[in-house]
């Protein structure tokens, strides 16, 4: 983990606006090294000894929070966590007050999950400390995109010239937005597919289609997104069976994609809704690999923002 | 001659045009002479322009009930600093301004403050609930100049039709926030490429156009349909607030050409900012209707020029700093702007785009006065001395901490503007005098 080779990194991971390909690739290389750490009997290195990291989750999450906390501990950071699932209208005030209070306790970096786009940017403006966006509303979930890219590279070798199809509720998906930002930076093309009511009018980095067959055609990988049932209450979907009939990823439909195209899902999955349950457990599925890689990627992100920035 | 004011060497520009330089003698609330005279107070206006005082048909002064955001004292002080001599206050306060008593109390308090003149708008429906019409005649007698449920949209077309009929019979303009709530879908910014990219709920411009189209049909029904009651208003009957879209403007233009008594206003933010500013994810730009695209801005500029847009309304909407520091979903809609509206539009429209100065002044003065049935203020001997003296040459950045408004933030903070008002007079009395050594 030579610091001299580390390019000047942004002091935050709010999204990929301030990141370039070299920085991302360097980060993914570090993740590779972190993966090696995770394969050891003693899965711990002293890289962040003396640093304190806070996970501040204003929106419920178990998997992402655990992944970040373990990642931080495996590189020897102290971790505190704050979780609040309140829905008070003054939650924004809570964000600022909570963060400022925590900041008096000597926190070195914040991992923040919120339900509204932009709060991570506000937090960075308030604190001027490394902020890692662990999901802000519909906007961005950059570590998910990084772990997806890492997993795809592991499977496909390189992303150069590869086609990735993202299927599901694109409109409300921070995973789709972050992947559409990151994957093209690494050479892939992205096509996003879903029913018209769940597609935005445009998505930078991706082409959009309502035609599942066209989206899957020759796709080198298929990323399936979770469908939230509350979209039905908002009139965006007539019913789940209607969605399943048009967009569920099945064994049969997966044949439209390139042979052996892997299947990704950011989880948690609704089995037999967005994809056939048996597919999730098939050799095509990288879902478990994504979870494992998530830890290595998050270790790399923390390392780069806290230690790598000195390089 | 006690109490008289002489403004020396002022360049005179009103809504009718530019009238050269003059020494303006003011007394008894009127312009006594345009060729000088003796006075106890003499103001040197060399390099400055004298114009009729500005008239804001749309401001939120938050009193009663939300004085933590703004009150009459701070709001009207902010107004005169912006060159306004007259302000129409919106009724979406706590309680709602829907009774003659509240209108009277507001008028009396504002008169005591001695800043800009206050003309309260009252609710179109009781409690702004969109069901029962408020007491238009009593409200008019108390001093209300307009009826509106601003802050809410009039969902029930029948109530709006009755409101138009009833208000018109008492000479009151009905002003509406035109936006289809269903089509808006809880959007917090303009629906478009930027909202898609940022992952923020979008509010389509078609929500405005769809509601304008509906409201124009209601107006047509009231004027021409079987529901017509022989109304023959000499002026606008339906006023569309804070127009923001090209499509909305097209609909209004057609309606005006067809002779419907409709009018509209545009706010300074919709002429100078776009949804691209939301890229910063800063809720300071969160406003309703939302900031639109450059194409909309260009269309609004044209509409302002050709008169399809009648006037500038600030939609001054102050909030507390804490509220505006909430996130994009929870921060309230609104921008405080009454102090910067004139220098902003003078700088951006006249200075940078060559917009004709008298036309811009017309939209700040005669335009709004005409809608509400007020006489124009012109720079003629015998004319009312409700005036503003402003400095086209003085450049100064927007510094929100100096605002008289309680809302000390601004999307234009740091913008360097010209045209800052230095003196505001209401009926011959100086209500604002800029400190020269600021």
Residues from B contacting A (CB-CB < 8 Å) are 191-193, 196-200, 280-283, 322, 325-331
Check residue A12 and give its pLDDT: 96
CA B403 to CA B395: how far, in whole Å?
A: 17
Which of B204, B205, B206, B281 is most worth mutating to test chain A (most A CB atoms within 10 A of its CB)? B281
Cβ atoms of residues A57 and A134 within 8 Å: yes
Pairing assessment for the beta strands A221-224 and A263-264 based on DSSP bridges: parallel
A199 pLDDT higher than 60:
yes
**Neighbour-count burial for B61-79, b at 16+ CB within 10 Å, e otherwise:** bbbbebbebbbbbbbbbbb
Beta strand residue intervals within B69-214, DSSP E: 84-89, 117-122, 146-148, 173-176, 189-190, 202-203
Q: Which residue of B has its CA nearest to A137?
A: B199
Catalytic residue among B56, B150, B310, B315: B315
In angstroms, what separates the C-alpha of B194 from chain A's closest C-alpha? 9
Question: Which residues of chain A approach chain B closer than 8 Å at the C-beta?
Answer: 89-93, 95-96, 114-119, 121-122, 137-140, 172, 174, 177, 200-204
Q: Is the pLDDT of residue A4 over 50?
A: no
User: B329 and A139 in contact by Cβ < 8 A?
Assistant: no
Q: What are phi and psi of A206, to 5 degrees?
A: -135, 150
CB–CB contact A201 B191 (8 Å): yes
pLDDT digits (tens, 9 = 90+) for A12-68: 999 999 999 999 999 999 999 999 999 999 999 999 999 999 999 988 888 999 999
pLDDT at residue A89 is higher than 50: no
**Number of other residues whose CB lies within 10 A of the CB of residue B234:** 8
Which residues of chain B make contact with A204, given a CB cutoff of 8 A?
A: 193, 197
3-class secondary-structure state, position B336: coil
The per-residue pLDDT string of chain B (438 residues; one tens digit each, 9 = 90 and over) reads 446 999 999 999 999 999 999 999 999 999 999 999 999 999 999 999 999 999 999 999 999 999 999 999 999 999 999 999 999 999 999 999 999 999 999 999 999 999 999 999 999 999 999 999 999 999 999 999 999 999 899 999 999 999 999 999 899 999 999 999 999 999 999 999 999 999 999 999 999 999 999 999 999 999 998 878 788 878 999 999 999 999 999 999 999 999 999 999 999 999 999 999 999 999 999 999 999 999 999 999 999 999 999 999 999 999 999 999 999 999 999 999 999 999 999 999 999 999 999 999 999 999 999 999 999 999 999 999 999 999 999 999 999 999 999 999 999 999 999 999 999 999 999 999 998 544
A140/B322 Cβ within 8 A: no
The average confidence (pLDDT) of chain A is: 92
B315 is catalytic: yes
Exposed/middle/buried for B28, CB within 10 Å: 0-12, 13-18, 19+?
A: exposed
Helices and strands in chain B, H and E counts: 15, 20
B281, A200: Cβ pair inside 8 Å? no
- Sorted by sequence, the CB contacts under 8 Å of residue A241 that are 6+ apart come out as none
pLDDT of residue B181: 93
Give the pLDDT confidence score for residue A1 in this predicted structure. Answer: 45
Whole-number CA gyration radius for chain A:
19
> What is the reported pLDDT for A310?
44
pLDDT at A59: 87
The enclosing H or E element of B322 equals helix B321-324
List pLDDT tens digits, range A14-26: 999 999 999 999 9
Contacts of A182 (CB under 8 A, 6+ apart): A16, A24, A142, A145, A146, A148, A149
Which pLDDT belongs to residue A87?
44
Give A225's contacts in chain B (Cβ within 8 Å).
Answer: none
Q: Identify the bridge partners of residue B417 per DSSP, sorted by sequence position.
A: B396
User: Encoding tokens for residue B202?
Assistant: 């979008």
Q: DSSP state, B349?
A: I
Tell me what ipTM this predicted complex has.
0.90
Rg of the Cα trace of chain B? 21
- List, edge to edge, every strand of the sheet that includes A52-57: A78-83, A52-57, A109-114, A131-136
For residue A268, cis peptide bond before it (omega within 30 degrees of 0): yes
């Amino acid at each position: 983990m030579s610091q001299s080779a580390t390019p000047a990194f942004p002091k935050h991971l709010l999204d990929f606006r301030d990141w370039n390909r070299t920085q991302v690739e360097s980060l993914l290389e570090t993740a590779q090294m972190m993966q090696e750490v995770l394969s050891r009997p003693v899965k711990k290195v002293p890289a962040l000894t003396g640093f304190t990291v806070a996970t501040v989750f204003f929106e419920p999450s178990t998997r992402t929070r655990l992944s970040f906390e373990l990642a931080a501990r495996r590189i020897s950071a102290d971790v505190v966590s704050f979780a609040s699932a309140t829905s008070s209208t003054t939650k924004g005030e809570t964000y600022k007050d909570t963060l400022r209070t925590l900041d008096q306790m000597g926190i070195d970096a914040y991992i923040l999950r919120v339900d509204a786009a932009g709060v991570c940017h506000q937090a960075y403006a308030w604190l001027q400390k490394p902020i890692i966006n662990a999901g802000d509303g519909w906007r961005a979930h950059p570590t998910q995109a990084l772990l997806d890219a890492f997993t795809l590279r592991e499977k496909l070798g390189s992303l150069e010239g590869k086609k990735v199809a993202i299927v599901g509720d694109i409109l409300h998906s921070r995973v789709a937005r972050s992947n559409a930002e990151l994957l093209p930076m690494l050479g892939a093309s992205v096509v996003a597919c879903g029913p018209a009511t769940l597609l935005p009018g445009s998505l930078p980095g991706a082409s959009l289609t309502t035609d599942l067959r066209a989206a899957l055609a020759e796709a080198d990988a298929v990323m399936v997104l979770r469908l939230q049932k509350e979209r039905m209450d908002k009139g965006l979907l007539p019913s789940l069976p209607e969605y399943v009939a048009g967009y569920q990823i099945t064994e049969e439909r997966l044949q439209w994609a390139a042979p052996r195209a892997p299947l990704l899902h950011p989880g948690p999955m609704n089995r037999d809704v967005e994809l056939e349950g048996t597919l999730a457990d098939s050799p095509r599925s990288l879902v478990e690999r994504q979870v494992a890689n998530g830890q290595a990627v998050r270790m790399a992100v923390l390392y780069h923002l806290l230690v790598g920035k000195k390089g | 001659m006690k109490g008289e004011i002489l403004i020396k060497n002022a360049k005179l520009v009103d809504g009718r045009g530019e009238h050269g330089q003059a020494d303006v003698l003011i007394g008894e609330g009127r312009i006594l002479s345009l060729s000088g005279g003796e006075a106890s107070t003499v103001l040197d206006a060399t390099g400055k322009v004298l114009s009729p005082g500005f008239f804001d048909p749309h401001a939120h002064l938050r009193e009663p009930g939300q004085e933590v955001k703004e009150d009459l004292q701070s709001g009207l002080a902010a107004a005169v600093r912006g060159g306004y001599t007259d302000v129409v206050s919106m009724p979406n306060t706590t309680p709602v301004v829907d009774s003659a008593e509240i209108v009277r109390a507001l008028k009396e308090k504002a008169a005591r403050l001695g800043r800009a003149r206050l003309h309260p708008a009252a609710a179109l429906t009781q409690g702004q609930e969109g069901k029962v019409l408020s007491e238009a005649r009593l409200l008019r007698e108390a001093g209300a100049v307009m009826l509106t449920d601003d802050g809410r949209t009039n969902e029930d077309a029948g109530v709006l039709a009755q409101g138009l009929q009833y208000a018109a019979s008492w000479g009151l303009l009905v002003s509406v926030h035109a936006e289809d709530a269903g089509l808006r879908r809880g959007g917090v910014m303009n629906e478009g490429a930027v909202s898609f990219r940022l992952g923020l709920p979008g509010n389509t411009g078609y929500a405005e156009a769809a509601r304008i189209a509906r409201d124009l049909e209601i107006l047509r029904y009231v004027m021409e349909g079987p529901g017509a009651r022989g109304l023959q208003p000499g002026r606008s009957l339906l006023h569309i607030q804070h127009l923001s879209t090209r499509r909305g403007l097209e609909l209004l233009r057609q309606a005006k050409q067809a002779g419907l008594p409709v009018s509209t206003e545009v706010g300074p933010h919709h002429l100078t900012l776009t949804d691209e500013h939301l890229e910063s994810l800063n809720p300071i730009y969160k406003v309703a209707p939302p900031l639109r695209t450059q194409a909309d801005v260009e269309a609004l500029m044209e509409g302002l020029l050709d008169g399809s847009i009648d006037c500038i309304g600030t939609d001054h909407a102050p909030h507390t700093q804490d509220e505006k520091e909430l996130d994009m979903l929870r921060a309230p809609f609104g921008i405080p702007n009454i102090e910067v509206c004139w220098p902003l539009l003078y700088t951006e429209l006249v200075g940078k785009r060559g917009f004709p100065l008298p036309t811009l002044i017309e939209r700040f003065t005669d335009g709004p006065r005409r809608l509400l049935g007020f006489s124009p203020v012109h720079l003629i001997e015998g004319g009312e001395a409700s005036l503003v003296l402003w400095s086209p040459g003085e450049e100064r950045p927007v510094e929100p901490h100096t605002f008289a408004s309680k809302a000390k933030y601004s999307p234009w903070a740091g913008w360097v503007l010209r045209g800052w008002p230095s003196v505001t007079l209401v009926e011959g009395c100086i209500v604002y005098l800029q400190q020269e050594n600021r």
